[in-house]
Structure 1
Amino acid sequence: MTANLTQDAVVIIPGIMGSELYDTTTHKTIWGLSGVSWLLKAWTRPHGLAALHLTDDELEGKLGRIKPTQLMRHSSWTPYLQGFEPYTDLLDTVHDCVAHPAAVLEFPYDWRLPVTTNGHVLAQAARRHLTTWQQHPAHDQARRDRVDERPARLVFIAHSMGGLVTQAALDPALDSDLANDTRAVLTLGTPFYGAVKATAILNTGRGAPVPLPHQQLRSISATMPGLHALLPQYTCVINGNDIRHLTPGDVTSIGGSAELAQAAADSHRQHARVPLPGHRAVAGTNQATLQSLTIHDGVVETHQYGARQHTRGEFIRDRRGQLKFYDVKGDGTVYKESAAIGPAVTPLPLQHGAVAADRVALKAVAEILRDDEHLGPPQGAPGCGLDIPDLVEVGTPLTVTLTGVDSLAGLKGVITDVESHKSQPLKLAWGDDQIKATTTLSAPGLYRVSIRTIDTHTVTQLVLVSEPGIMQES
């Protein structure tokens, strides 16, 4: 039997913090070392991630200090953004669908930099990759095994911010023919209209004590163009009985950079007009997700609901003229309507960091590569929502809360040490009209909480467990 393999050239683009970064001046990997011990040291030491700060030269566009080396090959963790599963399963799926390993390009990039900058690099890399693959001996054989026998085109598989980088790369101003040479784009949890969680990151420590890891992320992000690129671009700031866009002045008041916010907004307006050829989107659903915010004296209050508009553009209001709010949920980071863009959308009950590793999402990847009919998720598979803290200390109870399920029947929960692979069951029970489980961990490390529902769908989230004493005053 002849294998059903694509003749196309595939480019895989990770999300923010999904690429390993190497400092060419110190000759050290500054993000992405394997091992949980490195992760704990990086986030729980005051200057553990100091090398990620952009230098004055980098802010002025003088690049080269940092070299992206490869896509993340192991589980990682970031405050607020929580855990990121490795890209190994995604890579394996793609390699199973192509005619030769040379048809696959991994595109690690310096996620600290502006989306437009990385889009420019991606456009050049994708053009070189397509040309090189079309000249490869395996390419002609792959063409002969396909019905249409056409030359290879490009297929982009992009996770999270990687979708924004892909959209920037397909701007005709960079390469007028790249979009024509692209057959399909599959985005996995891409925040096309940004994420309110980015404002919470910039506002960390305003008015409340926070753990050291969260303060470190805020410090890194304050001058990071990549984080500003994730700021919400839709109307999300509640102001009395009205709602408006986030402004550069707002960003300054909450702890970010007005200049970077304006540049990100300009980039969004420019690239939002760029169509994505053959676009299919996987959007995470059912997870509690921030969707709007209010700002009082420089302090952000986030909300798990937002306003919606009629097709004619007016916001939906009740009979008294008051704004009506809706909870459309999302993947825990990106709310559904920010990721569900395009003619074909696959909604999956997943956390953001696990979207690129889910078996149903990987099935969508295989289908789009083989150019098969995209069937979407199995019917009647709602899964559940999963809500847990992103960080706890050793000896402190960890509470897992489920949403979207109304029965204990068929539920199974486990928590697994990512490094040792040792698992222990979670005892799920009703409490405060919700299904919960509480456990206490005795050793620091990175742990994966997995919940399997009666429909056999599994939802996962990573949590970092640290030594005591990582709280610090704002």
Structure 2
Amino acid sequence: MSSPASGRRSAATPSCCAISATRISPKRSANLLPLPYDWRTSVRSIVAAQTPLIDRALERWRASSPANADARIVFIAHSMGGLVSRSYATTHRDEVRKIITLGTPSRGSITALKVLTQGLGPNWGWLRDATRRFAGSLPGLHQLLPSYPCIDADGNYENFAFLDADHPVNDLDAGMAAAGIAFLDELAAAESADPGFRDRVHPLIGWQQDTLSSLRLRNGEPEFLNGYGEWELSGDGTVPHAGAVPKGTALDATSLHGFPEQHGSLQANLAVRTEIIRLLKNAPPIVLRGEGVGVGVGLPDLLRQGDELVVEVTLPPVTREAVAVVLGSGPSAVERRPTIAKDGTGSAVFPTMDPGVHTVTVRGVRPGSDLLPVTGTVTVWGSDWSA
């Protein structure tokens, strides 16, 4: 939570901040409130549970000093946490000064639809079926379904349709899907009625990563696509550009803050953290020229033990720098240097890995490289696949 951005108070005035779903240091300021949440439940349930905590924290901070009497809330939230923060703000608009979101699916994600209809991973039998059934019971995941026109209705990218009753998808619970999409529509409607909403919300989004952005339907069976018509859109590997942009904001709006990074690493990205600090200080935007070149990275979320890891790399036309793909960190890190083809693509292959979560970083080779590093994670499942 934070003091208001008015002329009579400086940016250095003590403030009170609320953070959703992020790692907090054991030593934190008295005006910092960590707010973990259960992503499996609905956003409305999360807000109902957290509202008393937020309200009490704001009241305590305002009472702690006369300088804090007019303090208001600043949310910093990753992914679904951004929807939680924005939902709270629709009923507490006078208490919220800023909402800084990182990779929030403001209009949903095709990845959520894929998990709900196909489960996790490739066709791995019982695991895929089990994760699909489990996902189908989660109202929170249904609230991440795409609410933007995402279905290539005629197969030539000229007309896009909404995910609705006229375009049913096999294995998707129609009632829960309709309720989930209705939540996003209701949130957008409430925000559109607030003339100050766009000035308060600052979406920090990831891009240049291969991301499911649209789909085609054949007899109810979805074919998931990375492209979005003639738009050269990408995303952060989980949330597509079209889903990360709040309703009413143009896809090419200059107000968007984009970073070449994977969804799960946005909060650790140095450029993202720098932008968060700028926003917290109410500093004016500074457009940097030549600050770096983004790299596109494609890697699986989940592998079986025994499978090779293939990391796809895509460089923009402005550079063909040598690239290092690093698996892990420290002395045990393994590095590969893929050959980059004329079209800017290349790949690195790593042998089977132990079960667990592994970090992959793609960066430039030469000291002072213009390439901005991109980091993602891969989970290796080591259980008995015949169970």
Question: Could you say whether these structures have the same fold, taking a TM-score greater than 0.5 normalized by the shorter chain as the test?
Answer: yes
Distance 1:337 1:463, change over 3 A: same
Structure-2 residue corresponding to 1:17: none
RMSD between superposed Cα atoms in Å: 2.9
Residue identity over aligned pairs, in percent, reads 26
Match of 1:409 among 315, 321, 346: 321
CA distance in 1, matches of 2:381, 2:180: 34
CA displacement at 1:450 relative to structure 2: 0.2
Correspondence 1:335 to 2:240: yes
After TM superposition, list the pairs within 5 Å mapping 1:169-318 onto structure 2: 169-172=88-91, 178-204=92-118, 209-210=123-124, 213-240=127-154, 242-248=159-165, 250=167, 253-273=169-189, 274=191, 275=194, 276=197, 278-307=200-229
Structure-2 residue corresponding to 1:119: 47
- The amino acid of 1:181's aligned partner reads E
Which runs of 5 or more structure 1 residues have no equivalent in the other structure? 15-86, 144-148, 173-177, 308-324
Select the structure with the greater relative contact order (CA < 8 A; seq sep ≥ 6). 1
Higher strand share: 1
Correspondence 1:458 to 2:386: no
Q: Determine if contact 1:13/1:162 at 8 Å carries over to the other structure.
A: yes
- The amino acid of 1:224's aligned partner reads L
The CA deviation string for residues 206-240 of structure 1, in whole angstroms up to 9 with x for no partner, is: 9x733655433322111211010010001111222
CA distance in 1, matches of 2:47, 2:354: 41
The CA deviation string for residues 227-260 of structure 1, in whole angstroms up to 9 with x for no partner, is: 1001000111122254211115755x42222222
CA distance in 1, matches of 2:381, 2:20: 31
CA displacement at 1:194 relative to structure 2: 0.5
- The amino acid of 1:190's aligned partner reads T
Structure-1 residue corresponding to 2:82: 163
- The amino acid of 1:384's aligned partner reads V
- The amino acid of 1:411's aligned partner reads V
CA distance in 2, matches of 1:110, 1:290: 25
CA distance in 2, matches of 1:258, 1:394: 35
Structure-2 residue corresponding to 1:362: 273
CA displacement at 1:283 relative to structure 2: 1.0
CA distance in 1, matches of 2:180, 2:46: 13
**Match of 1:330, SS?**
coil
CA displacement at 1:360 relative to structure 2: 1.1
Distance 1:432 1:399, change over 3 A: farther
Q: Determine if contact 1:408/1:435 at 8 Å carries over to the other structure.
A: no
Match of 1:11 among 11, 18, 21: 18
Correspondence 1:152 to 2:64: no
CA distance in 1, matches of 2:286, 2:69: 24
CA displacement at 1:413 relative to structure 2: 2.2
**For this pair of structures, how many residues does the alignment match?**
356
Q: Determine if contact 2:323/2:337 at 8 Å carries over to the other structure.
A: no
CA displacement at 1:412 relative to structure 2: 2.5
**Match of 1:295, SS?**
strand
- Bigger drift between 348-357 and 149-158 goes to 149-158
CA distance in 2, matches of 1:167, 1:188: 13
**Match of 2:54, SS?**
helix
CA displacement at 1:265 relative to structure 2: 2.3
Correspondence 1:426 to 2:341: no
**Match of 1:272, SS?**
helix
**Match of 2:118, SS?**
coil
CA distance in 1, matches of 2:211, 2:346: 18
Q: Determine if contact 1:248/1:257 at 8 Å carries over to the other structure.
A: no
Q: Determine if contact 1:348/1:377 at 8 Å carries over to the other structure.
A: no
CA distance in 2, matches of 1:332, 1:124: 34
TM-score (structure 2 length as normaliser)? 0.82
